[in-house]
Amino acid sequence: FFSAMSFCPVPHTSRDQGWLVTGALLGASAALYARRLYAARSRGQTAKRHGGPTLASADPALYPYLLEKGTRPSEPLQELFAAVEREPRARMMGSPDEAHFLGWLVELMGAKRVLEVGVFRGSTTLALASALPQEGEVVALELNGDFCSTGRRYWDKAGVGGKIDLRLGPASESMRLLLAEGGGGSFDLVFIDANKADYDDYYEHALALLRRGGVVAVDNTLWGGRVLEAPAATADTAAIQAINDKLASDPRVSIVMLGIADGVTLCRKR
């Protein structure tokens, strides 16, 4: 849809002015309708699968093209993605393009120490560890050790198992322990993708553990479109809305929210 303002001539009479205003209003209404229609369709597509694409869902053929031309997963990582798809709760896996992006970000930053809050089957863990230098380390926090058994096989196959320090238990407790061990300011990147109700606690601990100039990546910040609910239908949705509101105005960081997968917000510590 195009606004009538883009092609109406400069008015010379009151009739011309009337047509100009009417055309502008119709054009604005059409543009607003198009935006709302696109947003509704995008929310419907994204809600089907948290790990799926957002903008790339406009064309079913576009997302496979994105993966083919825009990512370079190793053979072990490709095999792990396929293995996770065969496991229960496969939709909890981070999307391949997001895993690739986070690995690329590690390389861009020259990161050496990464904290992952929420491991699940370990595909993103593998992408992060593979991007680190030989002396690099991923401290990976997970509540359920059974989930990690799938990933561990492929971590070792990829030759990065020695870079991964897997710590089992509630993530908040593990983060407090890291601080008690003197880990404050020692991490380059923190990736948060765990219990949504605890996102605020994870974020505050992440800032304490992060060096200045480091990045906190907060996952699921679009939450399948449910961030637009008013009021929120679930506690998890309310928690995502609250963290988004906080990040939008937190002077301690500069942020950008990206439409990758289910939304990821990058927060650079000032």
Over residues 106-164, the pLDDT tens digits come to 999 999 999 999 998 889 999 999 999 999 999 999 999 888 888 999 999 999 999 99
Please name which of 117, 211, 214, 201 lies closest in space to residue 166, comparing C-alpha atoms.
117
The pLDDT of residue 85:
86
Average per-residue pLDDT for the chain: 83
The beta strand positions in 199-262, using DSSP E, are 210-219, 253-258
What is the Cα–Cα distance from 62 to 122, expressed in whole angstroms? 26
- pLDDT above 50: residue 203: yes
pLDDT classification of 54: cutoffs 50, 70, 90: low
SS3 245: helix
Please name which of 266, 262, 114, 118 lies closest in space to residue 195, comparing C-alpha atoms.
118
What is the Cα–Cα distance from 70 to 111, expressed in whole angstroms? 22
What is the Cα–Cα distance from 210 to 207, expressed in whole angstroms? 5
- pLDDT above 50: residue 27: no
- pLDDT above 70: residue 4: no
Residue 192 Cα distances to 29, 96, 202, 220, angstroms: 39, 16, 7, 9
Phi and psi at 64, nearest 5°, equal: -60, -35
- What count of other Cβ atoms lies within 10 Å of the Cβ of residue 270? 10
Q: With contact defined as beta carbons under 8 Å apart, do 211 and 187 qualify?
A: yes
- pLDDT above 60: residue 12: no
- pLDDT above 50: residue 58: yes
The pLDDT of residue 56:
65
- pLDDT above 50: residue 9: no
Whose structure tokens read 């949504």? 196
Q: What percent of the chain has pLDDT over 70?
A: 79
Instruction: For residue range 232-251, list pLDDT tens digits in order.
Output: 999 999 999 999 999 999 99
Does pTM top 0.85 for this prediction? no
More confident residue, 54 or 58: 58
The pLDDT of residue 90:
72
pLDDT classification of 11: cutoffs 50, 70, 90: very low
Stretch 182-207: mean pLDDT: 98
Strands 253-258 and 264-269: antiparallel
What is the Cα–Cα distance from 15 to 21, expressed in whole angstroms? 10
- pLDDT above 50: residue 3: no
Tell me: cis bond preceding 231? Omega within 30 of 0 counts. yes
